[in-house]
Structure 1
Amino acid sequence: MASLAEPHSAVAKDDRFFFITSLIMAAIVVAGFSLMIVTGRSSFASPPIVHAHAVVFMGWVVLYVTQNALVARGSIALHRRLGWIGAGWIVAMVVLGTIVTVRLVRLGHAPFFFPPALFLVLNPVTILTFLALTTAAIVRRRQTEWHRRLHFSGMALLLGPAYGRLLPMPFLIPYAYEVDVLAVLIFPIVGMVFDLRRTGKVHPAWWWGLAAIIGSTVLSEAITYSPLGTALYRAATAGSPGASVAPLAYPPFPPLS
């Protein structure tokens, strides 16, 4: 009886860990974007495409929490059915995330704590890395430990914009992007520590997650600060107000009032 109880207890601990961390991730996203509204740096007057982007990305956060809640309560059949909705959902995330990024850069509205070319490159690279991690999680859906850890790493990667709204980014220039990525890495590292304490070893999925996150960062900076990055920026902003903004110069700080 003890030998049967021990594996069951380990699974229950896994379920609790992933559910609780999903709630914490969701809280960070809500806090980050709520702060923008409270401080007046964002409003509901944005164009419809921006609202669609927000709804789709927040929808993924809700879906991620729901999926972990279903597993924790043992509703595996419903979890699997919703999983296929999520598989289609990520296509909308990739498309809308890219469209909104290009639109902001064309308007000359890239965040002032990033060079505009870096903002143009890092968002698509990040969302495509999320797509790769999530696709890998779906492919390995029958290998639960791989499946949930790859999904976890993908969700952690999406916390970057929320951290960018919570961290004192203006004071972190010129390392704002790198600090943001370090914050993103907190969750996979917590997952590794959880595995170490529970099983005495780190599941290899965490290493793949870390490699993907760090790799996307290196790739984003390598493209940005190469002739390719400047060429992409010039092509994306041609004929728009963003064309007059230097691709690698930090935009001026917005007015305080």
Structure 2
Amino acid sequence: MTDANTSAPVADDRRFIRNLATGMAIILVAGFVVQAALGRSSFNAPLIVHAHAVVFMGWVGIVLTQVWLAGAGNIPLHRQVGKLAAIWALGLLIFGTWITVAAVQTGRTPFFFQPQHFIVANPMTLCAAIGLLVAAYVMRKQTDWHARLQIASFVLLMGPGFGRLLPMPFLPPYAFEIASLTALIFPAIGILYDWRVHGRPHPAWFWTIGVLIAVTLVARIIGFSPVGEAVYDAVVAGTPLAGTSGLDFPPPPGPPPAPM
């Protein structure tokens, strides 16, 4: 069986997508594991932090389940899990935005990000990831596009993983952009694979690159504009941070609290 737009067996592409997504998931999880091992994070966190972790790590599990099912040729079950993914994606949008707002309101923005930029860039990146996921669903019958757009959506969620592996305290004022754009390594790998196997890069990889660069650039422009300032002021209104500048970097945190 071959895809209408490629010359190599679909199974070969499925195995590549499976392996690429698995590598991405390992990097993403490793970022959180490393921070916990170094004592920089703690399970003694607000409930919203734990809920956010369950939703986003659950999404990593769904992505892995999907690519491994597709890689094994179990398309019927892959489609059934896809129904769960559609519902779960809504949770990503809700909890991803919620945790961002909560972090800014309580002064928990990572100290290498400016809150005014963070409150704009995080939700915008998440919306772009969901948009690519919707595009993958719409093009589900074009398996070459479907698989690569699924990876594209996952690429836009890689920033937090890289942000926990890179030396972020040394990267301001472009720490957010560096963490996000490091994920360009994955579409680059996809381009090399398609070039080697199919003789030409698939256009979905260029859409991935374009969307990631565009949302990162636009988020920075808006985040440092009067619009970004208005968003920040609205988010912190009624909190102890009301009236503060959203462009001031938060102070570095102390050691995490001891377990109760």
Q: Which residue of structure 2 lines up, in the alignment, with residue 254 of structure 1?
A: 253
Q: What is aligned with 1:134?
A: 133
Counterpart of 1:215?
214
Aligned mates of 1:25, 1:74 — CA distance in 2: 21
> Structure 1 residue 239: deviation in Å?
1.5
Greater mean alpha carbon deviation, residues 246-255 or residues 203-212: 246-255
Distance apart, 1:9 and its partner CA: 5.9
**Within 5 Å, which residues of 2 pair with 1:13-24?**
13-24=12-23
Note the C-alpha offset of 1:240: 1.1
What is the DSSP-based 3-state SS (H/G/I as helix, E as strand, rest coil) of the residue aligned with 1:243? coil
Count of aligned pairs between the two proteins: 252
Counterpart CA distance in 2 for 1:243 and 1:195 is: 51
Task: Give matches, 1:22-41, under 5 Å.
Answer: 22-41=21-40
The more displaced of 167-176 and 86-95 is 167-176
Cα distance in structure 1, aligned partners of 2:224 and 2:136: 32
After TM superposition, the structure 1 stretch with the greater mean CA deviation from structure 2, 75-84 or 37-46, is 37-46
Change beyond 3 A, Cα 1:37–1:205: same
Asked if the contact 1:150–1:205 (Cα under 8 Å) also holds between the matched residues in 2, the reply is: yes
Q: Which amino acid aligns with 2:160?
A: P
Mapped partners of 2:176, 2:98: distance in 1: 21
- Return structure 1 stretches of 4+ with deviation > 6 angstroms: none
2:85 & 2:241 partners in 1: Cα distance? 34
SS class of match (2:30) = helix
Tell me how far apart the structure 1 counterparts of residues 63 and 191 of structure 2 sit (CA, whole Å). 20
- Cα pair 2:40 2:255 within 8 Å, conserved: no
Identify the residue that residue 122 of structure 2 maps to in structure 1: 123
Name the SS for the 1:222 alignment partner.
helix
What secondary structure sits across from 1:241 in the alignment?
coil
Name the structure with the higher helix share: 1
**Aligned equivalents of 1:70, 1:181: Cα separation in 2:** 28
Note the residue ranges of structure 1 that are not aligned, 5 or more in a row.
Answer: none
Corresponding position: 1:153 with 2:152: yes
In the TM superposition, 1:168-207 aligns within 5 A as 168-207=167-206
Distance in 2 (CA, whole Å) between partners of 1:62 and 1:231 is: 37
For the 8 Å contact 2:233–2:243, the answer to whether it is kept is no
1:90 and 1:75 mapped to 2: Cα distance?
A: 22
2:241 match: secondary structure: helix
Alignment pair present for 1:68 and 2:64: no
The 1-side partners of 2:31 and 2:23 are apart by 12
> 2:149 and 2:215 mapped to 1: Cα distance?
15
Q: Which amino acid aligns with 1:186?
A: I
Aligned to 2:96: 97
Identity %: 46
**Stretch moving more, 174-183 or 66-75:** 174-183
One-letter amino acid of the structure 2 residue matched with residue 30 of structure 1: V
Letter in 1 for 2:142: Q
What are the Cα deviations for residues 140-196 of structure 1, in whole angstroms up to 9, with x where unaligned?
A: 111101101111011011110111111001111222122112211111111111111
Q: For the aligned residues, what is the CA RMSD?
A: 1.7
Partner letter of residue 212 of structure 2?
Answer: I
What secondary structure is seen at the aligned counterpart in 1 of 2:42? coil
Question: 3-state SS of the aligned residue for 2:23?
Answer: helix
Distance 1:144 1:183 in 2: 26
Match of residue 228 from structure 2: 229
Are 1:108 and 1:241, in contact at CA under 8 Å, matched by a contact in 2? no
Gaps of 5+ in 2: none
Q: Which amino acid aligns with 2:226?
A: P
Could you tell me how far 1:244 is from its partner in structure 2?
5.3
Give me the TM-score of the superposition, normalised by structure 1.
0.93
Counterparts of 1:220 and 1:211, CA distance in 2:
14
Q: Does 2:51 match 1:52?
A: yes
Moved more, 183-192 or 127-136: 183-192
**What residue is the counterpart of 1:242 in the other structure?**
241
Distance 1:44-1:253 versus aligned 2 partners, 3 A rule: closer
